[in-house]
Amino acid sequence: VARDQTWHRAHFACHHCSRPFVEDRYFGQDGQPYCELDYIALFAPKCARCKQAVIGEAVSALGRQWHPDHFVCAECGLGFGDGKFWDVDGQPYCTVHYKRKTGTDEQSSGLSSQSQPGPASAPKPPRETCHHCNQPLSGKTMVAMGFKWHPDHFVCRKCEKPFEAGRYFERDGDAYCETDYFDLFAPKCAACNEPIRDDVTSAMGLQWHPAHFVCAECQAPFVDGKYFAVGGRPVCPAHAAAGTPTQDPD
């Protein structure tokens, strides 16, 4: 059972590559499950510098996404310690190299003060907002599920705890830890009333853990899958003989 649907175990695979999921780890997009590699390749934003997928923390600036270590001066490769940078043809520059690039440094360019163009104001990052709090993003940003978040805000919607090893489950645009996702959304076993996380048996209009779908009288599994519904309970043919079957054997 996954993404509010019931699947044959062999059919629950990546929508793109059709391979089964490693340790049942998958990512949802447009109602379909994807393995981590294909989800990243198909849907993750790309770093403006290295063109590789941005997963986890990101810097949003100049209308693009960057790995935090790659958002540096295009000339000297140093980061922006004070958070200030200059936009030259869509690339970020530190103040020193902005002046040299644009001829506003008299010593390096030889231009007089009369011929210097006035320095532009440092550009403001796009007014993108966190999916959780709807407040503006700046600096480090978490990119997940097709949304952007403040790193401290990408937590389980219910318990508000960070995700162990980055493992989360998506529902209606929100992220949940494994425990809360199954407690809230997984179908409950008709026998034990606990969430069904993996394989499921559907019978009598209900869903069961396979190990719990047994005869209500003797607790033995059903040979060849044959059972009778007696009083709303599944029973084996031998014990059904003691009552009146209300349903043909499946």
Give 166-200 pLDDT, tens digit per residue: 778 888 778 888 889 888 888 899 999 998 887 88
Chain length of the chain: 250
Q: Which of 51, 49, 50, 17 is nearest to 36 (CA)?
A: 17
Lowest-confidence pick of 3-12, 22-31, 87-96, 128-137? 3-12
47's tokens: 């770093």
Alpha carbons within 13 A on the beta-carbon side of 212: 19
3-state secondary structure of 84: coil
β-bridge pairing 56-61 and 64-66:
antiparallel
Q: Which two tokens stand for residue 176?
A: 């949940």
Q: pLDDT tens digits, residue range 119-170? A: 334 444 446 788 888 888 776 777 777 777 888 888 898 999 988 877 788 8
Tell me which amino acid residue 64 is: R
Reported as a pLDDT band with limits 50, 70 and 90, residue 22 is: low
Q: Among 39-43, 66-70, 209-213, which is the least confidently predicted range?
A: 39-43
Single out the residue of 22, 47, 17 nearest to residue 32, CA to CA: 17
Dist. CA 53–CA 66, nearest whole Å: 9
- Structure-token pair, residue 94: 């530190």
**Six-digit token pair at 71?**
């958002």
- Identify the H or E element spanning 237: helix 237-240
In this structure, the strands spanning 174-176 and 201-203 are: unpaired
DSSP reduced 3-state for 40: helix
Residue bearing tokens 């190990």? 211
pLDDT for position 214: 92
- Measured between its terminal Cα atoms, the distance across the chain in Å is 22
Q: Phi and psi at residue 141, in whole multiples of 5°?
A: -135, 140
d(CA 105, CA 107): 6
> Considering the entire predicted model, what is its pTM?
0.46
- In which band, very low, low, confident or very high, does the pLDDT at 53 lie, cut at 50, 70 and 90? confident
